[in-house]
Amino acid sequence: MTTIIPLRVHHIPQVIALMDLGAPFIRARTHSDYWAYSALFSSTCPLGEVNGEVVGSVIAMRSQDNPEEIYVQDVMVHPEHRRTGITAALLGQVREQAVRWGCRRLWLTSEPGNAAAHAAWTALGFLNVSGDYEDNGVWVKKDFKGPGKDRAVYELLLSN
Ligand SMILES: CC(C)(COP(=O)(O)OP(=O)(O)OC[C@H]1O[C@@H](n2cnc3c(N)ncnc32)[C@H](O)[C@@H]1OP(=O)(O)O)[C@@H](O)C(=O)NCCC(=O)NCCS
């Protein structure tokens, strides 16, 4: 049974240990980054706990430039707990918060070649936004995050 809780400062070492298992698509950020997430926008940074262990994490943030949007920065589930619905539950929580705020769009990016991520986002209702080229059936925007940083972009439009 997975319990969904907000990111708090005391979880940070466990979150970093979890993210350290995420190569090649996820890398742990610094303690200071997670402190800021926990202090400034924990309501969009849910964790999934099983038997007191942090096994899933979503880091998301509401845009200040466009408050109708929430960007999902990182999604990571422990390899032994994948395909058990943890990402669905965590993103479901972020979506509920987005609806409470009247947001219109949840969006995220993933690296070309991350087939599990593509399968998860599409299963959860995200649309792969049309891009500059297709990679194994996935639309990718060239240089989206800067030179050489091509990304597949996904969005979930919310009607309030
Ligand atoms: C991508 C990732 C976050 C998915 O997390 P998850 O908790 O396993 O996803 P869920 O169990 O909620 O899956 C929901 C649905 O997505 C689809 N899905 C998820 N992973 C899938 C996979 N590897 N292959 C095919 N479909 C998949 C399924 O339809 C699944 O429902 P089902 O299990 O009932 O069939 C996880 O594989 C992961 O942590 N990967 C490493 C880190 C990473 O790449 N993060 C994304 C960076 S952008």
> For the residues 86-98, what does the mean pLDDT come to?
98
Range of the domain at 119: 3-157
CATH number at residue 82: 3.40.630.30
Find out whether the beta carbon of 94 lies less than 6 Å from any atom of ligand 1. no
Confidence (pTM):
0.97
Q: Does 67 score more than 70 pLDDT?
A: yes
Could you tell me if 59 and 72 are in contact, meaning their C-beta atoms sit under 8 angstroms apart? yes
The answer to whether the CB of 41 is under 6 A from ligand 1 is: no
* CA–centroid distance, residue 115 to ligand 1 (Å): 9
pLDDT of 160 strictly over 70: no
Q: Could you give the number of structural domains in the chain?
A: 1
Provide, rounded to the nearest whole percent, the portion of the chain with pLDDT above 90. 98
For the stretch 2-42, pLDDT in tens is 999 999 999 999 999 999 999 999 999 999 999 999 999 99
User: What does the pLDDT average to over 82-104?
Assistant: 98
Distance 124 CA to ligand 1 centre (A): 9
What pLDDT is stored for residue 78 in this prediction? Answer: 98
Average pLDDT, whole number, for the chain? 97
User: How far lies 149's CA from each of 38, 107, 143, in Å?
Assistant: 27, 17, 5
Taking only Cα atoms into account, the Rg of the chain, rounded to an integer number of angstroms, comes to 15
Verify whether ligand 1 is closer than 6 Å to residue 125 (CB atom).
no
What's the 76 CA to ligand 1 centre distance in angstroms? 9
Phi and psi at residue 45, in whole multiples of 5°? -125, 70
Q: How far is the CA of 58 from the centre of ligand 1 (A)?
A: 13
Beta pairing class for 105-110 and 127-128: unpaired
